[in-house]
Amino acid sequence: MKQSSSKPSAKKTILIIVWDGFVAGTLDAIAAIGLFLSAGGKHPVRVFQYIASGIFGKDAFLDGSAMIIWGIVFHFSIALLFAAFFFLIHPQIRQVIGNLMAIGLLYGLLIWLVMNRIVLPLSNVSAQPVDPAQSLIGMVILMVLVSLPIALIVHKHYSKT
């Protein structure tokens, strides 16, 4: 009889991270599209062209369908990377900060800082003036709709092992 190990298989780990990235990416995309529409935008696919412009610059707005696909790929890849990183650091963070909600919310602030202070400035996205209200909205979205679900999904996995 084979004994079960408390360590998850590589396949299960990958599936958890992919699911986590998909959930976080989907919630973030819904929020981004909602903000875009509420600001008067007419074509929500422009959100993904904007994301693609991080690599392709202004050309992302010229070739619609291909750039939309690239934007979706980039968006979900970034969500997947943040989910994978959290999966790796969760055991250590959980020992330092005992409250799961605090961990999730703080991770959202970290995501916001990385994206707004490192990734976007290094990308080809045209620079925008800093708007404190928009920054706060972005932080809250990342904290509640991205990092908190990531933390909850990862914690659920670790609590089973």
C-alpha to C-alpha distance for 131 and 148, rounded to whole angstroms: 24
In a domain, residue 2? The reply is no
In a domain, residue 153? The reply is yes
pLDDT tens per residue across span 49-101: 999 999 999 999 987 789 999 999 999 999 999 999 999 999 999 899 989 99
In a domain, residue 150? The reply is yes
In a domain, residue 1? The reply is no
Q: Give the SS3 label for residue 85.
A: helix
**The whole model's pTM is what?**
0.90
In a domain, residue 55? The reply is yes
In a domain, residue 116? The reply is yes
C-alpha to C-alpha distance for 141 and 32, rounded to whole angstroms: 9
> Across the chain, which distance is largest between two alpha carbons, in Å?
63
Q: How many domains does the chain have?
A: 1
Q: Among 20-24, 104-108, 123-127, 138-142, which stretch is predicted with the lowest mean pLDDT?
A: 123-127
Residue numbers of the domain that contains 90: 10-160
Confidence of residue 143 (pLDDT cuts 50, 70, 90): very high
In a domain, residue 4? The reply is no
